[in-house]
Every structure is written in structure tokens, then in C-alpha cells.
Structure 1
Amino acid sequence: MFARIAGTGSYLPGTPVTNDDLVARGIDTSDEWIATRTGIRSRHLAPPETSSSDLAYEASLRALASAGVDASEIDLIVVATSTPDYVFPSVACLLQGRLGNRGATAFDVQAVCSGFIYALTIAEKFIRAGGHRRALVVGAEVFSRILDWQDRSTCVLFGDGAGAVVLEAAEKPGILASALHADGAHHGILSVPGNVCGGKVIGDPFLRMDGQAVFRFAVRVLSEVAGECCASAGVAPADIDWLIPHQANMRIIEATARKLGLGMERVIVTVDDHGNTSAASVPLALDAAVRDGRVQRGQKVLLEGVGGGFTWGAVLLEF
């Protein structure tokens, strides 16, 4: 028993908020400052009444339609998110209720920007074990809720969105290899160091990041895990048709591609349109490339992500 992606979907809330729009809102920055350092031109910000489960629902409808599958046929729902609607129930259960699915296994995965890679790998293991046949795997985030809008070094980087895939049992391998890692010793360079206790916020409820440390760590581990994943499948990096990395920062994407010996013409980049959407960024980029015809059936695609924790991982698949 193997697993393959049968359909993809994505959703971005509202209208794009450009770098100039942020300047107009009073943030001490400029389009040139943001674009030259990150490659980001715009992002989408969910309105206050919109939650991660709302974004997940819209992306899921598109993925189900793409796969030609009814929600009732799903027997596993895995949602990757760091910004859930509530402490509990999980976004996965809320999504399940919205979709009208009853009885499927449903749970969330928290691995920040690596979340979708973790979730996809977990779902594939469930299917290969034989207990499940069709999974809905989603990355959904409303990172705008945890940003300090007075900190221009972080607030300009992130946006909201969701991406989803339908993963189903298959006779031939679709996912060829995967690799997941974490190292909690690096938790301090990217975190939201606060929580709620007794109805009050304890600590700092905003995202804090050491940008230079994150850059150095991300480039190293992304190139390493990509090589590990390819070696596991017996595929040379040169034989990959498409690299779809976590859409965090254009400089990280370019540096990782160089280390792998891949030209940028073989890298899917969407960070300019929606910024860093954490667990949603990889499935957003995948869906964009599928829908515009770049990613075709039979091609080898490498997905990879790195996020707070620190967590990182990669999935090599034949689409």
C-alpha cells in the first residue's frame, strides 16, 4: 500500500495587503526595504471574525473538488497549525464538523512552519499501515493574530492562508521518501514566548525572532534534509523536476537552491504574493504550481520546510 496526492487546494482571505499599504498604516518601513530583504510584495490578512478553521474549510473544499472526492469519503483529517481557533477542540475537528464528515480520525499537528511536511508524512504512514485509505491534509494559519505590529522586523514577513491536499491509497508509490527532524535547543531564536493562565496573558504573546540566526540555521538544515530525502529514495537532486520550499524569505529559498545545485527556474516561489504563511506556505505554493500547469503528473517534486521548535523536514514525491 502506497500513498499519492489526488488533489490540491488553497485559499487566501480578503484582498492583498501590499508593502505600501503597511506604510500607509503607519509601519516604519518601505516597499524597497521589505522587497530587497525578503522578496515579499504583499500578504493576505484575515478579518477578525475569520479563523484558521474557516481558511482550512475553504482550502479543503477546493482540494476535495480537485480530487473528485466527497468529504464523506475522507477517513483521516490532519491539520497543521500554530494558530488554532481554540485551546480545544482541534482545528481538525472543527473542520470535520464544517465538512459534514463523521467518524474520520481527526487531529492537529504543531510543528510551526514545518507543520505541513510533518502532517503529510504522518498521513502517509497512516495510509501505508493499511488502516486508512483517504486523508485530507491541511496547513492553515492566521499568523496576523500573533504579530507585534510595532516590530517591523517581523510584522512585515507574515500573512494568513491555507492549503490542502487529498492523499489517497495507491498501488504505486506517490510519496517516495520523507525525513523529519527537530532540535529543541534552538527554541529561543523563533518563538511566541507566552501563554494564557487564569484568563490572563503570561509572558509575551507575540512572535519573536532572531532573523540572522534563523537564516543560518534554515539554509543549513533545508539543504541537508533535502539531500537526506533524495538519498533515501535513490534520486539525485539534479533529477528533481521541482523544489517547493517553505515560503519564508527569498534569500533563504535562493541559498537553499544553490546548495542543492538547482537553478531558480526549477523552484516554485510564491512568497512575493502571500509572505510567510507558516504551515500553509508549502501547500499554497504546491496548489499554485499545479493549477498554473507547472507541476505535472509523473514529475518528481521535493517539498521542504523549517520552523520554530526548531523543526524541519522534507517529502519527495512523484506527483
Structure 2
Amino acid sequence: MTTVSLLDVSGYLPENAVPADYFERFADPSDITSNAMFKAPKFRRHIAPGETPADMAERAVAPLLERHGREVLRDIDILIVHTQLPETGIVGNGGEVAARLGIAPEWLIDLHNGGCAAFIHAMKLARQIMVSTSARAALVVTVQNAAGQIFTQEQVRAKPQAAIPGDGAGAGLLVKSDSSPILDLETRHLPEFAGQMTVIADPPRRYWEAGTGQMHVGFTDSKIAKVLQRGNRIVPEVVHTVCQRLAMASQDLDLLVTNQPNRAFLRNWRDALQLPRERHPDTFDECGNLFAAGIPITFDHAVREGRVRPGDTVMFAGFAHAGDFAGAAAVRWGGR
């Protein structure tokens, strides 16, 4: 079977670092909550006015091109782009990203599902295409651009949920080689929960209809409790499944890189997988919840900080939305 490697990752964070007290100024006392879902990070980044998903994607890919040369783009047959808040109606932002990079890949996919675990979802799609076709290399780009646009709106910024998200973009380069092999992947769709992550406004309207109410995520106490329960369960489940197929114990993983939703999930996942804190990189207090960009950005930080060595087994894992998708991917890291 053809071996596919995650050769490298990179990330981009906007310059504007926003402290927690920005949201505290606007907090509605009637909305104050002690729920673990909404314990705010110290900082998060917000995109600049006018900054587009294509801008963010180009900046996330730039370090890859610096390290591997722009000629690597000639081999990109697959481009998979996930954008949290697509700004190009109907078609998504993948085509614009390709144009910015000067490529015309045979496989150009706007991946609208997968949520916070979209990087793993895209890895699996890219590997399958490469294994079954003549495609040589894939570029995966995940963009989170909702924090500075949705959660700073006047009617939304007072809500507890507004202080959690941060903006950023991540990128991964996959190639046919055994230099940094993807050892195994597990993805699970749970479509019965797909409709539970809702976007609402007051007065009620559909997201594409004009109206005075600003859109935000619809959370209730019951929904929060269910999401916490599912997230605590399904992420360790997919990690254990991959570990079992690799005949290894979860506590023997050298690094666990997850999406970064909140401190409660991060702690609970470490405990469930019996891993010490130092083997589970955490960017939450610096960046907030980066959604689908969280995994590549957090791993990029870990590599640059020297927390992963060539030959280490790295597990990427996460879940999406209200628990309608979860994934895990193990990589034997080849070094940078």
C-alpha cells in the first residue's frame, strides 16, 4: 500500500491579541455563567478589518513554502480548504485560495463539515485520494475567521460564548513518502447530532434572511451538558481505536494534539488517555478556541518549542460541533 506522510505543518495567527477584559467590559450580568464551556482564555487573536479567508490561508501556507520552496506547489494535485465562515457565497473559498497560490489542482475540495476536527477529516480524504490515484501531494488548509467578525458584534459580544473563539489558520503538506508516515486514522460521523449546533438570532430568522438580530450559536443548559458528555467520550474512543490497531497503549503516545475548545475538555481527555500535561500541548490561553485551525497551529507550536522529536508517535484528535463528527490520526513524526 502506498505510504502517505504528513511532511510538515504551519500556522498563522493575526497580530491583534485581544485580552479577556475586552469581553468583560460588555458582559451581561444576566448571562454570567460558571459553566466550564465558557471559561475564557487570557487571550485570543482577531482578524484585521478586511482580512479574508484567502489572506489567512496564504499567510498560513507561507512558512511551508519558505521551508520547502515554492516549487513544492507544482506537485499539489489536491487542495482541501475548510473555512469556518466562508465569505464567497455558494462556491466557498477554495478556488480563491488556489488562485492566490497559483495552482490548479485536479482535486479542489471545500470541506464544509468536520468542524473543529476538519484537519483530520481532510487528512483522511487526502490520503485516500493519494492512495487510489496518481496524485502526488496534498495541501490542507483550515481557516477560523469567525471570532473577530461574529463574536464582536454588539449583540453578541456580551454573551459568555463570545470570549472563547480566536482567529487563525493552519496548513498541512501531505506527500507520497515514508518520511513522516500516517500510521492510521479513525473518523466517525454521528449524523443524529448534526442538527444540534444551531445558529440563531433574536428575532428569529434563517441565517441568510435580512433582519435586525445578529447571529450567534444557540446554546442552552441542556445542550451544553450533552456536548460536554459527548466530547468527553468520543475523543478518547477514537484515540483508543487507533491505538488498538497500532498495538500500543494510549499512555505510550509521545504527543497528543487535539482541538482546543476549553480547559475542561483538555483536562478530561488527558486524564482519560492517561497522559501527562507535558505530552498534550495547550494553546488555549494564548489563542482561545481556534476551531479547525487549532490542531495544525498547536502542533506547529509544539514542533517549534522542541516538544516533539523525529520518530515520535503523534496522535491528532478532536470532535466537531455538538458531537456529530470525531477523528483521530496517528503519525510517526519525521522531523522538520
- Using the size of structure 2 for normalisation, the TM-score is 0.86
Within a 5 Å distance, the mapping from 1:17-28 to structure 2 comes to: 17-24=18-25, 26-28=26-28
Corresponding residue of 1:289? 302
Cα gap change, 1:297/1:34 in structure 2, threshold over 3 Å: closer, same or farther?
A: farther
Name which of 92, 100, 124 aligns with 2:94.
92
Corresponding residue of 1:74? 76
Corresponding residue of 1:106? 108
Given the alignment of the two structures, is residue 208 of structure 1 paired with residue 223 of structure 2, yes or no? no
Check the 8 A contact 1:81/1:115 in 2, yes or no.
no
CA distance in 1, matches of 2:166, 2:213: 23
Unpaired runs of 5+ residues, structure 1, are none
Corresponding residue of 1:146? 150
Show CA shifts across 1:124-183 (max 9, x none): 111222321111111111122333624522111111110111111114671111111122
Corresponding residue of 1:315? 329
Name which of 94, 104, 125 aligns with 2:128.
125
Within a 5 Å distance, the mapping from 1:1-319 to structure 2 comes to: 1-24=2-25, 26-28=26-28, 38=39, 40-70=41-71, 71-110=73-112, 111-144=114-147, 145-147=149-151, 149-171=156-178, 174-192=181-199, 195-197=206-208, 200=210, 205-209=215-219, 210-308=223-321, 310-319=324-333
CA distance in 2, matches of 1:274, 1:212: 24
Amino acid of the residue matched to residue 15 of structure 1? N
Check the 8 A contact 1:154/1:208 in 2, yes or no.
no
CA distance in 1, matches of 2:246, 2:212: 45
Shift of 1:313: 0.8
Check the 8 A contact 2:6/2:180 in 1, yes or no.
no
CA distance in 2, matches of 1:195, 1:108: 23
CA distance in 1, matches of 2:194, 2:330: 27
The secondary structure found in structure 1 opposite 2:46 is: coil
Amino acid of the residue matched to residue 93 of structure 1? G
Once superposed, what is the RMSD of the aligned Cα atoms?
2.7
Shift of 1:104: 4.0
Shift of 1:201: 6.0
Shift of 1:212: 2.6
Shift of 1:117: 1.2
Amino acid of the residue matched to residue 51 of structure 2? T
Shift of 1:203: 9.5
Show CA shifts across 1:92-147 (max 9, x none): 21111001113442111122111111011111111222321111111111122333
> Which deviates more from structure 2 when the two are superposed, residues 125-134 or residues 274-283?
125-134
Check the 8 A contact 1:72/1:100 in 2, yes or no.
no
CA distance in 1, matches of 2:129, 2:197: 30
CA distance in 1, matches of 2:50, 2:14: 11
Check the 8 A contact 2:16/2:48 in 1, yes or no.
no
Cα gap change, 1:158/1:37 in structure 2, threshold over 3 Å: closer, same or farther?
A: closer
The secondary structure found in structure 1 opposite 2:248 is: coil
Question: Alignment length, in residue pairs?
Answer: 317
CA distance in 2, matches of 1:132, 1:202: 47
CA distance in 2, matches of 1:143, 1:292: 28
Unpaired runs of 5+ residues, structure 2, are none
